[in-house]
Structure formats: C-alpha cells, structure tokens
C-alpha cells in the first residue's frame, strides 16, 4: 500500500514537472526566436520572418558589431536608460513607501480621502495628463534632461497603494517598541519598518524598474537630443520606411533585455512573497 502511494506521488511530481517545463518553453520561445534572429541578415528576416531556422552560412555577428560601433549611439542610449531606471526606481521606492506607510500607520484628517484619490489616480490613464505634465515640465525647465523623465512619476499610485496594504498588515507593536526606545518616527521607518517591508520593496523594484526601462511615450515627449534618448526611443529611430534596419533593431532589443533579466533574478526571491502579502491585510 505504501509503495503504491509513493509511486503515485512520484508520478504526480513528474507530471507536474513536465507541465512546468512546457510552460517555461512556451514562455521562452519568443526570446529564443528573437535571439536567433539577431544573428541573421536583413534579407533573411524579410524573406522568412522570425523563425528558429539555423544556417551556418547566414549566421553573423555583424548586427552586434554595428550597434556597438563607436559611430552609433546605442551604448549612449543604454547608459541613459540604466541611469534613469536606477535613479527613478530608488526615488520611487523611497517616496512611495513613505507615503504608503504614512497612510497605513498614522491617523489624520482626510486620510481616507487621500487614499481614495490614490485609487482614482490608478484608474486614470497616463496619456490623459500628458499635456499638463508637459506644460509643467516647460515651466520648471525640465525639457530635454533626465529629471524631466524621472520627477513627474517618483510618487506613483500603484507603489503607494501596494506599500499601504503591506504596511497595514505589519504588527504595530514594533512602532510602540521603537518609540519606547527613543527612536524618532523617521528612525522607526528606516531602522525597523523598512527591513520588514523588504519583500514589498523587492516586488515594486521589479515592476517599477521594468516600467521605467520600457517607458516610451513620456521620454519621447521630453527628450530631444539624440545623445539623451533612452533605449526604446533610440531603437525606434533605427526603423526606416524601407525596413532595412530590422536586423539591427532585433539585435539591440535582445541586448536591452539583459538588465530586466538581471533585476528579476536578483529580486525574484522576494517577489512572490511580496505580491502575496501586499494584497492581504493581516
């Protein structure tokens, strides 16, 4: 009887493993296809499209040599995107966590009104506020520099909501213990509560870094000079009406995925925990 149960348990685990492997292959298939296509010339892509067809005579590194050429701006765009993403993610996590923590912990007038406004802003598409944001950026002289891309969104509604929900589920005894020990409110937040909110920070770090890295419309409006463009905008300039730069665009896209994968691998340990605990008030 025990042997039968063990065999059934082993078979179930094997089937579950095969199912997950199938999901992984399905999810990685576009990335693998894009990577293979990045080593093919434009004529091959136009003729056969994206596929896994491998021909040693056609495979070449010329696409990557082109984008990394000193004459091209790809590395400059790459540096700009990394700088903007890092600064934006750090500032967004800092200020959004402070706002969310304040809404969850402190009782003050209009607290619920502020929280409702956060929910309302979450439902408003960013495109609706582009014009007033652009006018404000002009008045503050933020056009054509990275701060014009970063500052309008450093307190984002989604992270505020997420941190508020996460902080609301933390034990309030830590606050009282910190106050008894003489900690200031800032000391309680940075020394006690912030370490407890590490899973939430990890989850939001992935989401906000990914959003900043892929952000296209607002940087397109704010940035003008070629040397100040980000990766999404810079790659879009490679396209021509004749489509003769698709091979370079694909190679640049493959290399642009690397930072996103690094961020996910680095923070994925806390990602599921943070996303689960953040949506439940304990």
Q: Tell me the pLDDT of the chain (282 aa) as tens digits.
A: 556 667 777 888 888 888 888 888 888 888 888 888 888 887 777 777 777 777 777 788 888 888 888 888 889 999 999 999 999 999 999 999 999 999 988 888 888 899 999 989 888 888 888 889 999 999 999 999 999 999 999 999 999 999 998 888 888 888 888 888 888 888 888 888 888 888 889 888 888 999 999 999 999 999 988 889 999 998 888 776 665 677 788 888 888 888 888 877 777 766 666 555 544 444
pLDDT at 281: 44
pLDDT at 149: 93
pLDDT at 72: 82
Considering 45, 64, 83, which residue would you say is the last residue of a domain?
A: 64
Q: Determine contact, residues 195/92, Cβ cutoff 8 Å.
A: no
Q: 59 and 198 share a domain?
A: no
CA 42 to chain centre: 30
Q: Within 13 Å, how many C-alpha atoms sit on residue 211's CB side?
A: 18
Q: 37 and 140 share a domain?
A: no
Q: 162 and 261 share a domain?
A: yes
Helical H segments across the chain, by residue range: 2-37, 42-48, 62-67, 74-105, 111-122, 130-139, 146-150, 157-168, 173-180, 185-187, 194-196, 198-214, 217-222, 231-236, 246-256, 258-278
How far is residue 48's CA from residue 1's CA, in Å, rounded to a whole number?
57
Q: Which two tokens stand for residue 191?
A: 């020394």
How far is residue 93's CA from residue 20's CA, in Å, rounded to a whole number?
32
pLDDT at 250: 85
Q: 60 and 141 share a domain?
A: no
Q: 41 and 146 share a domain?
A: no
Q: Which two tokens stand for residue 94?
A: 């800092």
Q: How many domains does the chain have?
A: 2
Listed residue (55, 51, 54) closest to 34, CA to CA: 51
Q: 36 and 129 share a domain?
A: no
Considering 64, 91, 118, which residue would you say is the last residue of a domain?
A: 64
Q: 42 and 143 share a domain?
A: no
How far is residue 163's CA from residue 93's CA, in Å, rounded to a whole number?
9
Rg of the chain over Cα atoms, rounded to whole angstroms, equals 24
pLDDT at 85: 94
Q: 111 and 229 share a domain?
A: yes
Q: 88 and 206 share a domain?
A: yes
pLDDT at 147: 93
CATH code for the domain in which residue 159 is found? 1.10.3720.10
Q: 234 and 117 share a domain?
A: yes
Q: 44 and 128 share a domain?
A: no
What domain range includes position 240? Answer: 72-278
Q: What is the pTM of this model?
A: 0.83
Question: Cβ contacts of residue 270 below 8 Å, gap of 6+?
Answer: 198, 199, 201, 202, 203
Q: 159 and 42 share a domain?
A: no
Helix axis angle for 198-214 and 157-168, nearest 10°, is 170
């Amino acid at each position: 009887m025990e042997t039968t149960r063990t065999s059934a348990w082993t078979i179930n685990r094997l089937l579950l493993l095969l199912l997950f492997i199938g999901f992984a292959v399905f999810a990685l298939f576009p990335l693998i296809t894009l990577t293979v296509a990045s080593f093919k010339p434009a004529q091959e892509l136009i003729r056969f499209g994206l596929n896994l067809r491998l021909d040693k005579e056609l495979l070449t590194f010329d696409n990557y040599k082109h984008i990394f050429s000193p004459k091209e701006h790809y590395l400059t765009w790459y540096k700009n995107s990394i700088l903007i993403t890092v600064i934006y993610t750090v500032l967004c996590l800092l200020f959004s966590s402070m706002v969310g923590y304040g809404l969850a912990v402190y009782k003050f007038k209009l607290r619920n009104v502020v929280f409702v406004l956060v929910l309302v802003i979450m439902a408003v598409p960013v495109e609706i506020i582009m014009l007033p944001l652009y006018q404000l950026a002009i008045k503050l002289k933020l056009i054509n520099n990275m701060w014009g891309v970063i500052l309008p969104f450093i307190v984002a509604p989604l992270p505020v909501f997420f941190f508020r929900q996460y902080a609301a589920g933390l034990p309030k005894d830590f606050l009282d213990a910190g106050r008894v020990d003489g900690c200031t409110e800032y000391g309680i937040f940075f020394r006690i509560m912030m370490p407890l909110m590490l899973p939430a920070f990890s989850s939001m770090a992935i989401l906000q870094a990914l959003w900043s890295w892929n952000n296209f419309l607002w940087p397109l409006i704010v940035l003008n000079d070629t040397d100040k463009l980000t990766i999404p905008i810079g790659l879009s300039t490679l396209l021509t009406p004749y489509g003769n730069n698709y091979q370079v665009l694909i190679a640049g896209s493959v290399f642009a995925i690397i930072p996103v994968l690094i961020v996910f691998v680095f923070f994925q340990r806390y990602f599921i925990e943070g996303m689960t605990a953040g949506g439940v008030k304990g």
